[in-house]
Amino acid sequence: MSLSATSPAFGSFYPSRSHRAMPRFTMAVRSRELTATPILTKLQKDCATPLPLLRHVADAMASDMRAGLSADGGSDLKMILSYVDSLPSGNEKGLFYALDLGGTNFRVLRVQLGGKEERVIATEFEQVSIPQDFMFGTSEKLFDFIASGLAKFAQNEGGKFHLPSGRIREIGFTFSFPVKQTSIDSGILIKWTKGFAVSGTAGRDVVACLNEAMERQGLDMRVSALVNDSVGTLAGARYWDDDVMVAVILGTGTNACYVERLAAIPKLQGQMSSTGETIINTEWGAFSNGLPLTVYDREMDNASINPGEQIFEKTISGMYLGEIVRRVLLKMAEDSDLFGASVPAKLAAPHVLRTPDICAMQQDNSDDLQAVGSILYNVAGVESNLRARSIVVEVCDTIVQRGGRLAGAGIVGILQKMEEDSKGLIFGKRTVVAMDGGLYENYPQYREYLQGAVTDLLGTDISNNVIIEHSKDGSGIGAALLAASNSKYEHDY
Ligand code: ADP
Ligand code: MG
């Protein structure tokens, strides 16, 4: 990557006379006087999320939801039917498996359910990180890798886990990519997101892909539910709390789902379920309306494997926050003396600065920002003074504040849509939003900004009724619970 690119949007921060006069090989050398402050100030201005902007985002989310419910393709939001019409009741019994393919890892889990009295008797899980080359290889290669991990895990079953004889193991498959669900246990991959570029899966039934791989592994299991991770989280959280109405994932990517009345889904054209309700998977990562974007966001988007897509996801989720910060820091290094006279070469590599790194830097309370210094050194090979470290922390905070507050506005948009249709049934009583994902779980500032935006938008009284709650590992158990609700043996209990 060239270090000499000076984006036109920031040309004014750099004295154009010396810029033009400099030969190429000294482009990385900067005058000591140029501070990064103007770049930071402009960043803060461009990323600002004042209340009117948040209102606009929440309103746009609500109206995009309506448009997506009216017709397929009617909006950025796909508003996908999950085919989950009944949430776990607590009566589920038996041994069930779940497989969760997220972004960074896949997890396998088994749970022994004991019904209303005993609830979750035991769970066990294993997590396997997905090697990079599987994310860019063929569909068979990826699904074989997953099925073999599942086969190994299933071999070690014992202890409190018990499958009645004559039964086949049933599995809930959490697949956190946009899928056009065709039934509770089948769905066509629309496209890969979050950096995956696996060939041969888009347009295919992902359950069939998994079944074929399990067959190749000689593994006899039946996928009884295909669920999005947000849907799994909603199911898992509802198992413990009847007031859960919405679930949001903030991990590598982001998504949200909620409980909708069938009567409010025009594109269904009169189909009914026994409960009159269903779970809608919004696929809100594709939202794009009214977001405060910067030149860094646009350049990151252009360089991504899915330019122009998943703009909300690219603004608020874990895969991207660190990368946006890196792009800002690189610009600062090029155009100012932030890291001394030269531009650190390592900082030019996409995704070297990860969201956990910026999170760790923001937790540094020491006077000399020691941890910030060592992360910058380890990640980017940068020696930094205290002034530079403080600016870096401010850049992190700016990007994380924008992300957290926009996520909060998105949540309010969903609640607002539900409230408008049901008058008082959302804001007039306790309503729980179940949250899951590594970003939400590990980033305290992000959580605070998110909650702050919700409170700003709803006011104290209403926001006291809205409980935003971390549902740890909810999606894994949720998928297993949905496998149980859709078990072919379900009538046995
Ligand atoms: P997935 O989204 O792949 O299913 P997770 O929900 O576990 O997986 O989220 C992983 C993501 O969470 C990482 O990609 C990263 O962006 C974010 N994350 C993980 N650990 C931290 C951390 N300590 N601080 C901030 N973000 C984190
Ligand atoms: Mg996940």
Tokens for 176? 């956190």
| Mean pLDDT, residues 466-493 | 85
pLDDT, residue 14, reads: 32
Which ligand is located closest to the Cα atom of residue 193?
A: 1
- What is the C-alpha separation between 215 and 270, in angstroms, rounded? 38
Residue 167 near residue 93 (C-beta atoms within 8 A):
no
Ligand 1 center from residue 319 Cα (angstroms) = 8
| 374-403 average pLDDT score | 97
Q: With a 6 A CB cut-off, is 438 part of the ligand 1 pocket?
A: yes
Task: Please check the confidence at residue 19 and state whether its pLDDT lies above 80.
Answer: no
Supply the pLDDT for residue 89. Answer: 87
Backbone φ and ψ of 125, nearest 5°: -145, 165
Residue range 74-82: average pLDDT?
A: 96
138 within 8 A of 193, measured Cβ to Cβ: no
Q: Does ligand 1 come within 6 angstroms of the Cβ of 195? A: no
Q: What is the predicted pLDDT for the residue at 144?
A: 97
Q: Is the pLDDT of residue 308 over 70?
A: yes
Task: Name the residue at shortest CA distance from atom 12 of ligand 1.
Answer: 438
Is residue 168 within 8 A of residue 221, CB to CB? The reply is: yes
Task: Give the number of the atom of ligand 1 that is nearest the alpha carbon of residue 105.
Answer: 3
Determine whether 205 is an active site residue.
Answer: no
Integer CA distances (angstroms), 121 to 115, 116, 160, 314, in order: 9, 11, 8, 39
Q: What is the mean pLDDT of residues 72-79?
A: 96
Mean pLDDT of 214-236: 95
Asked about 194 being catalytic, the answer comes back as yes
Instruction: Compute the average pLDDT of residues 75-104.
Output: 92
* 349 DSSP assignment: S
Q: What's the whole-number mean pLDDT along residues 308-323?
A: 98
- Those residues whose C-beta lies under 8 Å from the C-beta of residue 298, and which sit 6 or more positions away, are none
Instruction: Kindly give the distance from the C-alpha atom of residue 314 to the centroid of ligand 2, in angstroms, as a whole number.
Output: 16
pLDDT tens sequence across 279-300 = 999 999 999 999 999 999 999 9
Q: What is the pLDDT of residue 69?
A: 98
In this predicted structure, the answer to whether residue 336 has a pLDDT above a threshold of 70 is yes
Cα of 327 vs centre of ligand 1, distance in Å, is 20
Lowest-confidence range among 250-264, 267-281, 350-364, 430-444? 267-281
Tokens matching residue 225: 């539910």
What single-letter DSSP state applies at residue 25? G
Task: Give the start-end residues of each E strand in 376-475.
Answer: 431-436, 466-470
Q: Which residues have C-beta under 5 Å from ligand 2, the single-atom ion?
A: 102, 229, 251
Ligand closest to CA 228: 2
**pLDDT tens digits for range 152-198:** 999 999 999 999 999 999 999 999 999 999 999 999 999 999 989 99
Instruction: Kindly report the protein residue whose alpha carbon is nearest to atom 19 of ligand 1.
Output: 438
Residue-averaged pLDDT of the chain = 91
The yes-or-no verdict on residue 135 having pLDDT over 50 is: yes
Residue 155: how many other CB atoms lie within 10 Å: 9
Question: Sorting pLDDT into bands at 50, 70 and 90, what band is 260?
Answer: very high
Q: How far apart are CA 349 and CA 343, in angstroms?
A: 12
Residue 397: pLDDT above 70?
A: yes
Residue 326 pLDDT greater than 70, yes or no: yes
Catalytic residue among 229, 297, 357, 436: 229
CA of 258 to the centre of ligand 2 (A): 17
Under the banding of pLDDT at 50, 70 and 90, the label for residue 18 is: very low
- What's residue 2's pLDDT? 34
Mean pLDDT calculated for residue range 449-457:
98
| 347 in Cβ contact with 382 (< 8 Å) | yes
- Selecting among 78, 93, 194, 331, the annotated active-site residue is 194
The average pLDDT across 256-280 equals: 89
Which pTM value belongs to this model?
A: 0.91
Mean pLDDT, to the nearest integer, of 68-85? 95
Atom number of ligand 1 nearest to Cα 319 = 16
In three-state secondary structure terms, 369 is coil
Check whether 351 has a pLDDT greater than 80: yes
pLDDT of residue 271: 72
pLDDT band, very low/low/confident/very high, at 33 (cuts 50, 70, 90): low
Q: Are 96 and 482 in contact (CB under 8 A)?
A: no
Would you say 147 and 214 are in contact if contact means Cβ atoms under 8 Å apart? yes
Ligand 1 pocket check: which of 379, 441, 445, 475 to mutate, most ligand atoms within 8 Å of Cβ? 441
> Which ligand sits nearest to residue 313's alpha carbon?
1
Q: Is the pLDDT of residue 134 over 50?
A: yes
pLDDT value, residue 13: 32
Strand partners, 138: 199
